[in-house]
A and B are shown apart, each in its own frame.
Chain A
Amino acid sequence: MDSSLVILIVLSLFLGCGCWLVFLWAVKKGEFDDIERPKHRMLDDDDDKPGKSKN
C-alpha cells in the first residue's frame, strides 16, 4: 500500500517535471511574447501552411 503510493507520487512528480520542462522551453522560445495574435490566426486562410496540398 505504502510502496504503491510512493510510486504513484514519484510518477506524478516526473509527469509534472515533464510539463515544467516543456513550459521552460516555451518561455525561452518566446511562445508567450504575443498572446493576442494566435487566437486570430486560426481564422485566417491557411492555404500556405506547410503540409497542406498546394493548389
Chain B
Amino acid sequence: MSASPAPCFHCGAAIPAGVLVQEKGPDAVLSFCCRGCHGAYLLISGAGLTDFYRRRDWQEPGLAADSFQSSFNAPYLARFVHPAGAASAIDIIIEGIRCASCVWLNEKIIGQLPGVQEARVNYATGRARVVFDPELVTPTAIFSRIAEIGYRARPYTSSAAQESAKREQRDLLLRFGTAFFLTMQLMAYSFALYAGYFQGIGAQIKGLLQVFSWLVTTPVVFYCGWPFLAGAWRALANRSPNMELLIAIGALSSYGYSIYGSLSGGEVYYETAAMIVTLILAGRLLENAAKRRSAGSIELLLGLCAGQARRFSGDALETVDVAQLAVGDLILVGPGERFPTDGRVVEGSSDVDQSPATGEALPVVKGAGDEVIAGSSNLTGALRVVCEKVAADSFIARVARLVEEAQSRRAPIQRVADRASAGFVPAVLVLALGTFCWQYAAVGGGFAGSLMSALAVVVIACPCALGLATPTAILAGTGAAAAQGVIFKGGDILERLSRVNLAVFDKTGTLTCGLPEVTGVRVATGVSAETLLSLAASVESGSLHPIGKAIRDHAAGLGIPCPPGTELRGVAGGGVTGLVAGERVAVGSARFLAEGGVTGVPDDGTLPEGELVVFVACSGSYQGALVLKDRMRQDAPELVEYFNRAGIGTLLLSGDRQASAGQAAGVLGIATGMGDLSPAQKADYLGELRRCGAIVLMVGDGINDAPALSAADIGCAVAGGTDIAIETSDLVLVRPDLARLSDAHRIARRTMGVVRQNLVWAFLYNIVGIPLAMTGRLTPIYAAAAMALSSVCVVGNSLRLVRLRLVRYRRG
C-alpha cells in the first residue's frame, strides 16, 4: 500500500486508502477520492463541460473544507433574494474559485439550470450574481448545484461600508478620468507653447493657447482636485501640514501664477497645476485598487457564521436566528456545530473544543450541568443546552465590545509622505517669503515682480510625483506579499510592520497546530506498532474527535491499512469501542478501559505538560498506548529565530495554563511566556507595552486573541482561525504557514525603503529648481522637465520592487 495511487481526477488530492470510486472515462479509467468528487465529475461531464479539466490551472490540489454541502435552508436563502426587473437576483460568494476556468465552469453550470437567466461570476472577488425566474428555479437549487461540483456557496449582502467604498471608488474614477482627458488636451497646447518658447511665437497665438489652457485647467483644479483642496483646508484648520496641503498650495499657486502670467503676457504653468492633480488621483486609484483586492481576499476567508440555532418549541425543533434566542430557551447543538451563545448543558455529553475561546488545545468533556461558551464547537455528541445569556451578551459579543474599545483607542499613524510634507511646507513658505524680501529690497524687482518670483518658488517646489511615491511602491509591495499568501489590509500596515520592535505570539493554533498529533507509540510485549495503530485507527474510523482524527492520520501517513470497525460506540471523555475483524477493541483513557474489564493497563504516571495518552485493548487484553501532543508548527522556531536575528523582541501570551505557555516559550527560544490570560488581560498588557514605546506585532488566531489583535499596532491573523480574529487583524496569512510572516516583514521593510527613495527622487528635481525660481529665471520648460523626470524615476523605482521579488522572495 506504500505506492500512492493516482490522485483524484476531480480535486487532485491524494486518494485515501480504502476510499476509491472509479468511473470509465472516454480514454481511461478515472479514480476519485470520494463520492462527492465522482458526482461532480458526472455532473460536469453530463453538461458537456469536461473541457474544464483540461483548461483549469490549479496551484494546489484539493477542495475547500466542507465542500459538497447537501442541504440549504430555504427560508434563510430567500432573504437574500432581491428583485431585478421582472426576475429575481441573488448574490453568492463562491469559495474555491482558483482560475479563470473555475469562473467559466460555474457560469456554465449555473446557467444551464432551467429558469436561470444570467449567471455572472466576478473573478477578482469570487462573487456571483445570478438572475433567475423564481417560478422555475429556487435559490436552494442554485446553491445545491454549485455545491455539487465541489465549490462552497453562501449568500452575500454588501454592507453599508462596502457600498460607500464602491461609491467612493466611482467618484475617484470619474475625477481621475476627467482630469486625464483634460490634461491630455492641455498638454497639446503646452507643447505648442514650449515650441514657441524655443522658436518664437506670435503674441496673439500665444494668448489664444493660454486662454484654452486656462479653460481646461480650471475644472481639473477645482472639480477633480476638490478632495485635496478640502483636505488641505482641514489640515490648515488643524494646523497640521500634510501632503494634501502641499499639493493644494502647489496647484493653486501655479494656477494663480499662470492667470497672472496670461494677463501680463508672461509664462504660464497650467500643466504643473493639472499634472499634480492628475498624478495624485492616479496614486489614489492605485492605492484603492490594492485595498479592494485585499478586502476581496479577506471576504473569501471569512466563514459562514452560525447565525442560526435550533430551538425546541415543545417537542418540535425550529430554526431561529441567534438574535431571537432568549435566556432559558432550550436549544440542540449537534456534533460539528458551534454554540451560538453561552449556556449550560442539560442533557447529553460530548467533547467540546474550546480552543478558539480559551486557547486550551485539547477538547474538554461537557456533561449535564457544565457551562459552554459561545464560539466553541461541539465535537462528538448532540447536546441539549439551556441558554444563559442572550447572543448580544455572549462571550463573543463581549469580546467584540473589547475589540471596538481597543480600536477606538487606536490613533492613525502619520504616513511617511505626510511627515515629509509637514517639514517641507513651512520650509518652502519661508523660502518664498525670503525670496520676496530679497527680490524686493536687494534686487529691486518691484512689488509684482518680487511676488511672482516668490510664487515661482512655491510652484517649482511642489513635487508632482509626491502623490505617486507611496502608492506605486505600496501597490508593488502588497502585490508581492499577496503572491506570498500575505494580505495587507492597507498601505499604512506595511509602514507600521516595517517599524515593529516587539513580536507577540499566541500559542494554541498559532505557534502550535492546535490539534493533537501522535508523537509516540508504546506497545505491550508481543504486539507490533503497526497492529496497534491499525486496531486504534479502525475503531476511530468514524470519529469526529481530534484524537480519533490524529490516530487515523498517523496510520494513513505510515500506510497502515485500517478497515473501518463496526458497532462503533463512543463515550464522551472516555473513548471508543467497536468490532474489528470480529474482536472487540477499546481505545480510550485508562479508566475507560478498566471499566470495560481490561486488566494490565499501566498507570499514566506523570505526563509532561500538554501530553495525552490513549490506551488500546483488544478482546479484553491490553495492547499498548499512543502518546498525543499538540505539536509545534514546523516553521515556528524559524520564525522566532528570524525575529530574534532582526533585533525584534519576542513574547508569548496564552490563555492556556502558565506551565504549558512557559514550556512552549522555552522550546522556541521566546524570551518570556505568560499563561492564564483572559482576552481583556492580553489586550491590556499590549496596551501597556505600547505605552512603554514598543511597536507591537500580535500574531493570533482565536476569539480570545481578537482584542489583543486590535490593541496591538499590527494584528496578524492566521487563516483557518476564527472569523473575528481575521476581521480584526491588519494582516492575514492566507495559509497557516508562519514562514510567510517573515517574508511579509522583509517585503514591508523593502517597500518602505523604496518609498523613502521615491520621496527623495520626487523632491530632488524640484529642489534643484528652487534657486532658479528665486533668481526669477524659472521657465515652464524646466518645470515640465522636473515633473516628467521625477515621475519616471518614482514609477521606475517602484517597479524595481515588482521585479526584485521574483528573485528574492520566492521560496521553495
Contacts and interface: CB of A to CB of B under 8 A. Distances in A.
A48 to B, nearest CB: 8
Given A13-B185, A27-B177, A5 B208 contact: yes
A37 B205 contact: no
Contacts of A16: 181-182, 184-185
B103 A40 contact: yes
B204 A2 contact: yes
Interface in A21-45: 23-24, 27-28, 32-37, 40, 43-45
Contacts of A45: 51
Assign chain A's interface to a size class.
20 to 34
Contacts of B51: 45
A23 B100 contact: no
Contacts of A6: 208
Given A12-B188, A23-B177, A27-B173, A36 B208 contact: no
B788 interface: no
Contact of B121 (A12, A27, A33, A37): A37
B181 A20 contact: yes
Assign chain B's interface to a size class.
20 to 34
Contact of A37 (B124, B174, B208): B124
Interface in B199-229: 204-205, 208, 212, 216
B124 A32 contact: no
A46 to B, nearest CB: 11
A45 B55 CA distance: 12
Contacts of A24: 174, 177
B123 interface: yes
B398 interface: no
Contact of A20 (B123, B170, B178): B178
A6 B204 CA distance: 12
A40 B208 contact: no
A27 B4 CA distance: 53
B122 interface: yes
Nearest to A19: B181
Interface string B171-197: 001100110011011001100000000
A34 B185 contact: no
A20 B219 CA distance: 13
B642 interface: no
B122 A37 contact: yes
Contacts of B188: 12
Contacts of B121: 37
A5 B181 contact: no
B123 A37 contact: yes
Nearest to B182: A16
A33 B124 CA distance: 10
B643 interface: no
B170 to A, nearest CB: 6
Nearest to A9: B212
Given A2-B208, A6-B208, A13-B185, A34 B170 contact: no
30 contacts: A2-B204, A2-B205, A2-B208, A6-B208, A9-B189, A12-B188, A13-B216, A16-B181, A16-B185, A19-B181, A20-B177, A20-B181, A23-B177, A23-B181, A24-B174, A27-B170, A27-B173, A27-B174, A32-B173, A34-B122, A34-B123, A36-B122, A36-B123, A37-B103, A37-B123, A37-B124, A40-B103, A40-B104, A40-B123, A44-B104
Interface of A: 2, 5-6, 9, 12-13, 16, 19-20, 23-24, 27-28, 32-37, 40, 43-45
Q: Which 3 A-B pairs have the closest CB atoms?
A: A40-B100, A37-B123, A36-B124
